[in-house]
Amino acid sequence: MALILFNKPYGVLCQFSAEPNGPPRPTLADYIKRPGVYPAGRLDHDSEGLVLLTDDGRLQARIADPRFKLAKTYLVQVEGDPDEAALEPLRRGIVLKDGPTLPAEARRIDPPALWPRDPPVRFRKSVPDCWIELTIREGRNRQVRRMTAAAGYPTLRLVRWRIGEWTLDGLAQGEWREGPTARA
């Protein structure tokens, strides 16, 4: 049984083949030359960070299936300057078009020491931004971006840092390593 931790760069599709009618974009195949592994969940092309891949269907389901509510932690650069009261709706759960979210853990953090993003996040002198750490236990389509936007703080940069006990610690952008599988 294999488990791979991959630090997905911005703009990479979280699949091994390109979209047939879409613009040419890099895929997992451009980085991971290991046959028989598949992503356990997805990360949008405009998001960065931890993607887990495995060759074990049971482990893949344990990681990706929402019924297991495996915690996923994101480092999120948002537009605006939310205070504690502004983060409270995220902590209670936000109502989105597809229903209410589960409560999230949300806190402001200092800007993390991350790799530069290519292309860089737009900078506007007149609009402040800050970083929050957000932990959710579900995985709806573009959920973190939709949650921060609904709270009034649109996402500028999104980096998944942790899934369960697996983290990006020590893993450079575009790199992968094998990880332990018994920790889900």
Domains in the chain, number: 1
Reported as a single tens digit per residue, the pLDDT across 29-39 is 999 999 899 99
Cite the DSSP H helix spans in the chain.
57-64, 84-92, 143-150
| Strand pairing category for 48-54 and 38-39 | antiparallel
184 within some domain: no
- Measured at the alpha carbon of residue 108, what is the angle toward residues 105 and 111, in degrees to the nearest 5? 125
Annotated catalytic residue 44:
yes
> What's the pLDDT at 181?
66
Reported as a single tens digit per residue, the pLDDT across 144-165 is 999 999 999 999 999 999 999 9
Q: Distance between CA atoms of 166 and 26, rounded to whole angstroms?
A: 24
In terms of phi and psi (left: phi > 0; alpha: psi -120 to 50; beta: otherwise), the region of 142 is: left
Nearest to 180 by CA among 163, 162, 160, 166: 166
102 within some domain: yes
Range of the domain at 148: 3-176
38 neighbors 183 (Cβ within 8 angstroms): no
182 within some domain: no
- Percentage of residues in the chain having pLDDT higher than 90: 73
63 within some domain: yes
Q: Which of 44, 55, 81, 98 is catalytic?
A: 44
CATH code of the domain in which 103 resides: 3.30.70.1560
pTM (whole model) above 0.85: yes
- Token look-up 């092309």 returns 45
